[in-house]
Amino acid sequence: MLLTQAFFFADFQQSKRDSPECKAIEDLIDADADLDFQRTSPKVKEAFVELREKIKDSRFDVGTLRDLALCIYGVRNSIFHGYWSYLDKTRGHVGGAQFLLYKLIRRGLEKQCNFAFWEP
């Protein structure tokens, strides 16, 4: 498990496209083409652009995580406001976004509830 889930960045840089994390990020970035930016916050639009740039340049930091969270927020807006439907091609993008969102929640719990003591 540790081998499959570890070293996302290394995976990405080595273009191991079968990694679910890579697939999810690519899905999310592809999703910006399907988002109607006229209806989306400029900040979210900016986050999609920045995430694409950072991933292209392999610059991964807290800002990457923030951009990622805002991109997921963009997906949330598109679903909540009805711009993405249950039947169209956005299904794949939502799958990627929910996968990353779950990771964000898990990490949030670890940090927010001081779970670091669990680690060896």
> Cβ of residue 45: shortest distance to another protein, in angstroms?
11
Q: Number of residues interacting with another protein: please give it, by CB under 8 A.
A: 49
Site for another protein in 71-110 (CB under 8 A): 73, 75-76, 79-80, 84, 86, 91, 94-95, 97-98, 101-110
As given in the structure block, the two tokens for residue 105 are: 């929640």
Site for another protein in 19-38 (CB under 8 A): 21
Please tell me the distance from the alpha carbon of residue 61 to that of residue 88, in angstroms, as a whole number: 33
As given in the structure block, the two tokens for residue 108 are: 């949030």
**Is residue 39 involved in binding another protein (CB under 8 A)?**
no
Q: Of 33 and 86, which has the nearer Cβ to another protein?
A: 86
Residue 62: what residue type? V
Residue 116's H or E segment, with its range, is none
Between the CA atoms of 69, 26, 39 and 59, what dihedral angle is there, to the nearest 10 degrees?
50
Instruction: Tell me which residue has tokens 């039947």.
Output: 87
**Candidate residues 6, 36, 53, 58; the one interacting with another protein per rule CB under 8 A:** 6
Please tell me the distance from the alpha carbon of residue 2 to that of residue 38, in angstroms, as a whole number: 41
Q: Of 39 and 43, which has the nearer Cβ to another protein?
A: 43
The site for another protein (CB under 8 A) is made up of: 1-9, 21, 41, 43-44, 60-62, 64-66, 69-70, 73, 75-76, 79-80, 84, 86, 91, 94-95, 97-98, 101-115, 118
